[in-house]
Amino acid sequence: MCCGGSQELAMEPKAAETATGARTERRISWLTLFIGLLAGLLVGVLRNPMWGVGLGIGTLLAWLNFRWLRRGLNALVQASEAQADKEKPRVPLRSYFAMAARYGLIAAAVYVIFELLRIPILSMIVGLCALGAATIVASVYEILRPVE
């Protein structure tokens, strides 16, 4: 009975951390889209429509990158938990490839869009920064409103 109770107590913080982490991930996801697309809309309307489109494209690529990163990290966590009893756990080679390939895919997408549509490449790169801005906003929110 004592052991079961201590296991239960040990699991509760992990479940709370997982729920908090999932909320933060969702917040970063929608903030990426909100911040980047709002910036793209404002720049497109007030200054340069092509730059606005580039910011929007970069934002969508940043959001896609975040989703792929989250999926890849979840797969790594599952693989490590499945091999918790092994002294030298092995990570599937495809996991490493998938984590690296997402950068190549984003770079290829930016290049193709630049070549075909003549969207300013710098605008797409700045749009990719929407993920960083969203992460900063979500972090400040977590600091100001800590979960008890």
Residue 19: CB partners within 8 Å, gap ≥ 6? none
The pLDDT of residue 17 is above 80? no
What percentage of the chain reaches a pLDDT higher than 90?
Answer: 57
DSSP string of 47-116, one letter each residue: T-HHHHHHHHHHHHHHHHHHHHHHHHHHHHHHHHHHTTTSSS----HHHHHHHHHHHHHHHHHHHHHHHH
Q: How confident is the model at residue 73 (pLDDT cuts 50, 70, 90)?
A: confident
CB 127 within 8 A of CB 36: yes
Higher pLDDT: 146 or 4? It is 146
